[in-house]
Chains A and B, each alone.
Chain A
Amino acid sequence: MRGTVKPLWLTEMVAVWGYVQRNYFLTKRYFMWEVVWLVYVTINAMAITYIGAGAAEFGNIAINTERYMTYLLVGALLWNYLSMLFDVLSETVSWERWEGTIEYTFMSPSSRITHLLGMGFYAVVYGVLQTALTLGVCYLFFDLDLSRANYWGALLVLVVCSVSLVGFGIVAAVLPLLSPEKGQQVSYIVSSVLLLVSGVYYDVSVLPNWMQAIATVSPVTYALEGGRVALLEGAGAAELWESIRVLLVMGVVFVPLGIWVFHLGEVYAKKTGKLKRSG
C-alpha cells in the first residue's frame, strides 16, 4: 500500500505465502477432485503392489514376496510423490495460462524465484501428505516388510531429492513459454522418460546401457535408491550419504540452471508475445 514501505525480503516472503495460500484455496475448491485423485493414486499403488503378490505364480524361481511387494510399493509411492512435484512445477505456466491469470502474475513485482519457490513449497507439503495417506491405506491391506525401515532416513532422501527435482521441474516449466500449444505435452514426455529410466518398479541394471546412461542424470534414480535402502534395509546416514551427495550436487546444479533457463524462456516469451493468454 502506498506509504507502507517493507524491506524487499519481506514483500517476497508475503508473495511466497500468496502462492502457497492460493494453491491451498484451489485445493479446497477442487476438493472432490482431490479425493478422486487420492483414491486413484492409492488404488494404483495397490494394484502395482499386487503384481508382487502374483509374481510367485510364474516359473519356479523362489522370491521373497513380502519384500518384492514392499519394493514395488515404495517405488509406486516415491514415484507418485516425485512425479506430482515435477508436474506441479512444470504446469506453473500452462495452468495460469489456462486460467487467464498469467499476465497478472508476470507483471507483479514478486520475483520469478519467489513464484517458483511458492509453487515448489506447496507441492512438497501436499505431496508428503498425500504420500503418507496412501502409505497408511496400503499398510492396512498388505503385510509389508518394513520392520527395519529408517523412516527419517527416507524422509531426508525425499527432501533432498525434492530440491533437485524442483530444478528439473522449473526447466520443464519453461516449455509452455516457448510453445504455448505443445510445451506442456513435451513436459509429459520428460516425466514419462523419468518413469522409464529411473528404476521405479525395477532395478536400473535391467535396462539397456543407453537407458542406464540417462538414469544417471535423473534425480529420481538416486531418490529411489536411497529411499529403498532406507525403508527396506534400514540404512543409516552413512550408507545413504552416496545418494544424498549426488542429489545435493544435482540440486546445486539444477535449481540455478532451471531458474536461468526459465529466465531465458521468459525473455523469449516477452519478445515474441507468447505470454499472452491465447498464445
Chain B
Amino acid sequence: MKALELRDVEKSFKKRRGEVVRALDLVSLSVGKGEVVGILGPNGSGKSTLVRVISTLVLPDRGEVEVFGIDAVRHPKQVQRSMNRVSVEASFFKKLSAMENLLYGAKLYGVTTREARPRIAEILENVGFAQKRALEPMEHLSRGMQQKIALARALLTSPVLMLLDEPTTGLDPRSKKDVQAFIHRIREAHDSSILLCTHDMGEAEELCDRVGIMVDGKILALEKPEELKACYATNGRIPTLEETFMAATGYSVEEASAEKE
C-alpha cells in the first residue's frame, strides 16, 4: 500500500470574469512509505492546489486521492489524523507564543498538554530552537524561526505523511540549511513519507528520492533525480537539475519563483 496515491485528479477554478483556470490536469502520482517525493514547478503551476487537495482543503472535480489506502475525499477525518502540512506561510496566531500555538495545534489532534510538553522540548532541541524563545509571541520571531515552529507543529502530531509546500521559500541561507537538515532528520528518525513542493533545485536533489516537474497543472515527469536529468541529456552531457527544469518548463529558476499564482 502506498502512503499517497493520486489517480487522474482534476481541479479547475472559476475566476471572476468567467475565466476557468485548470489548476490540476489529470494528475497521477504516488509516494511510497518512507519515500520523499519532490515536485518542482513555477508559481502558479498547481503545486499548492495539489497539496490542498491532498490535505482535504480543496475538493477535486474528478479523480481519486488515497492516503494509506483510504479515500481522502470520502473519509477526510480518517486521513487527516495521519498527515500534517507545512506551507510557505507559517500561519500562526501572531500574538500567541510559540508554545501556546504548539499546544493549541497539538490539541486539535487529541494530544494533551501533558503529552505535548516533553515532545515539544525534544523537537525544539532537535531543530536548534532555544526553549526560552518558545515563550515569546510569534510576531517577535524571525521567519526562519517561525518556520521551525511550523515544522515542530507538524511533527508534534506524529504524521506518517508530511506535506511540505515550499517550507524554505524566503528564508535566509542559514535558516534554510537548518530547516533542510531538520527535514532530513524527520525522514530518518520518524519514517515519514514526504511530499515536498519547492522551487529550490538543490533542496529537491538533496532531499528527494524522486522528483517531478509540474507545469500548468500537469506533472511532466516523475523520476529519480539522476534519471530525470538523464532524460534531458544532450550530446551525452547530463544537465544539472536546474538546467533540466529550464528545459522542461521553459522557466529559469528566478522566473519560476517570481511568477504570481
Residues of A that sit less than 8 Å from B by CB? 1-4, 6, 10-12, 14-15, 17-18, 21-22, 25-26, 29-30, 99-101, 103-111, 267, 270-273, 275-277
Contact = CB atoms under 8 A, between A and B. Distances in A.
A107 B119 contact: no
A14 B111 contact: yes
Contacts of A100: 89, 91-92
Contact of A103 (B57, B77, B108): B57
A109 B94 contact: no
Contacts of A272: 13-14
Contacts of B157: 1
Contacts of B59: 267, 270-271
Given A15-B107, A107-B56, A275-B57, A25 B91 contact: no
Grouping DSSP codes into helix (H, G, I), strand (E, B) and loop, the A interface class, with mixed when no group exceeds half, is helix
Contact of A104 (B56, B94, B105, B137): B105
A267 B85 CA distance: 20
Contacts of B58: 270-271, 273, 275
Given A1-B115, A110-B110, 7 more contacts: A1-B119, A22-B96, A29-B96, A106-B57, A107-B85, A110-B109, A277-B91
A109 B77 contact: yes
B110 A15 contact: yes
Contact of A99 (B85, B93, B100, B158): B93
5 contacts: A1-B111, A3-B158, A15-B109, A29-B95, A107-B57
B55 interface: yes
A14 B112 contact: yes
B8 to A, nearest CB: 18
Contacts of A108: 80, 105, 108-109
Interface string B26-62: 0000000000000000000000010010011111000
Contacts of B107: 14-15, 17-18, 21
B137 A29 contact: yes
Interface string B121-161: 00000000000000001000000000000000100011010
Contacts of B106: 18
Contacts of B100: 22, 25
A14 B108 CA distance: 7
B175 interface: no
Interface in B1-39: 13-14
10 cross-chain pairs, A with B, having the tightest CB-CB distances, nearest first? A18-B107, A11-B110, A108-B108, A2-B158, A109-B80, A29-B95, A100-B91, A22-B104, A109-B81, A270-B59
Contacts of B94: 99
A148 B243 CA distance: 85
A109 B55 CA distance: 11
A99 B93 CA distance: 6
A108 B103 CA distance: 14
Given A29-B96, A100-B91, A2 B109 contact: no
B249 interface: no
Q: Which of B52, B58, B107 is most buried by chain A, counting CB atoms within 10 A of its CB?
A: B107
A136 to B, nearest CB: 28
A270 B115 CA distance: 32
Contacts of B180: none
A4 B108 CA distance: 15
Contacts of B109: 11, 15, 108-110
Contacts of B104: 18, 21-22, 25
Given A18-B104, A109-B80, A104 B158 contact: no
B89 to A, nearest CB: 6
B87 interface: yes
Contacts of A22: 93, 96, 100, 104
Contacts of B77: 109, 111
A237 to B, nearest CB: 38
A25 B96 contact: yes
Nearest to B96: A25
Contacts of B160: 2
A8 to B, nearest CB: 9
Nearest to B13: A273
Given A1-B158, A4-B115, A271-B59, A110 B108 contact: yes
A101 B93 contact: yes
Nearest to A6: B110
A188 B108 CA distance: 29
Q: Which of A14, A99, A271 is most buried by chain B, counting CB atoms within 10 A of its CB?
A: A14
A271 B95 CA distance: 31
A22 B52 CA distance: 25
A110 B77 CA distance: 8
A29 to B, nearest CB: 4
